[in-house]
Amino acid sequence: MILILITLLFPILSHAIVLVPDLNQGPVIDLTHQVSSVEITEMNQKILELYKKGSGPQIAILVIPSLNGEAIEPVAHQIFTTWKLGDKLRDDGVLFLISANDHRMRIEVGRGLEGSLTDARSKEILVKTRDFFRSNQFGTGLKVGLDGIMSVLNQPSAVQTYQREIPNPKKWKIIDLVPLGLLLLLIFFTIKNFNNKNRNFKEIKHNFELTQQKVRESLNVQNDTDAAFLLQELHMKLTIKNIQLEQELERLNNKKTQSSVYRLEQLNNQISKLELAIENIKTNINESQKLIGSNDGNI
């Protein structure tokens, strides 16, 4: 369990390269106590005078005892990022870092100064300070390095290099307004369509209310409940009338049927009488022919 905790904590400890002091102590900080307070005050005044101009870069100097076995580049980057040196817009921060026991030093700059305080110029400045550090004259070496940095940054060309222009507000073109115009048209027609539907709904509702009112007036009722009861009563009466009408039609049909049968019987009787009369006539004719035939003789 302890091994696991150590394994988990090792990356965190490895990233804590150097304990970064508070920058509120001043732009020049010496953790080795090899620089006199008079020299630190003198350098602080130079840096603050440049910074107070408003357009000057933010310079910081830090002397540490050791890099704790790390390369100076990540340590410088860690300190530069922690202190957030330079203006956010211009990114014109400068860090002069010296590790006394490791005999290493570096000038870390923001992107806004990479064109003026180049790697070549930074190397020239560091070479000038090297002999002073080797002879343990840290105060003099720091002042020489600071003067070299400020001499580069005080040049007019350097100011033009690291100052960034504030982006101008975007100038709108006609083509840029097309999507906005389409959106406005879509919103306009959507609202118009909604208003038309709302207007139609109101008209339908108004017509329905008028119809209800006319029905109440025709039925002589005061509200929809009375009208419903009255319509139910009328429906029952209509149903009864329909039943009575069906019964009456059935009775009439039965009556017509009986009358038709009686008439058919009468016709059948008359036909029978006619047939009997016809038979009688035929019989009489036959008898008359027989009598005529008996009076004739052969010649």
Domains and CATH numbers, the chain: 13-162 (3.10.310.50)
Residue 207's pLDDT band (cuts 50, 70, 90):
confident
Residue 185, pLDDT > 50, answer yes
- pTM for this entry: 0.50
Residue 153's pLDDT band (cuts 50, 70, 90):
confident
Q: Which residue has the higher pLDDT, 130 or 201?
A: 130
Q: What's CA 286's distance to the chain center, in Å?
A: 119
Residue 11's pLDDT band (cuts 50, 70, 90):
very low
Q: Which residue has the higher pLDDT, 208 or 73?
A: 73
- For residues 93-113, give the mean pLDDT: 94
Contact assessment for residue 116 and residue 162, using Cβ atoms and an 8 Å cutoff:
yes
Residue 132, pLDDT > 70, answer yes
Q: Which residue has the higher pLDDT, 296 or 93?
A: 93
d(CA 89, CA 77): 19
DSSP β-ladder status, 58-64 and 28-30: parallel
Contact assessment for residue 50 and residue 59, using Cβ atoms and an 8 Å cutoff:
yes
Q: Which residue has the higher pLDDT, 31 or 282?
A: 31
d(CA 110, CA 41): 25
- For residues 65-89, give the mean pLDDT: 92
State the alpha helices, DSSP H only, in the chain: 2-15, 37-52, 72-83, 119-134, 138-153, 156-162, 174-219, 224-295
Average confidence score pLDDT of the chain:
77
Those residues whose C-beta lies under 8 Å from the C-beta of residue 43, and which sit 6 or more positions away, are 27, 28, 61, 142, 143, 146
d(CA 44, CA 132): 20
Those residues whose C-beta lies under 8 Å from the C-beta of residue 188, and which sit 6 or more positions away, are none
Looking at residue 12, what is its pLDDT?
38
Lowest mean pLDDT among 120-124, 137-141, 190-194: 190-194
Looking at residue 182, what is its pLDDT?
83
Contact assessment for residue 128 and residue 144, using Cβ atoms and an 8 Å cutoff:
yes
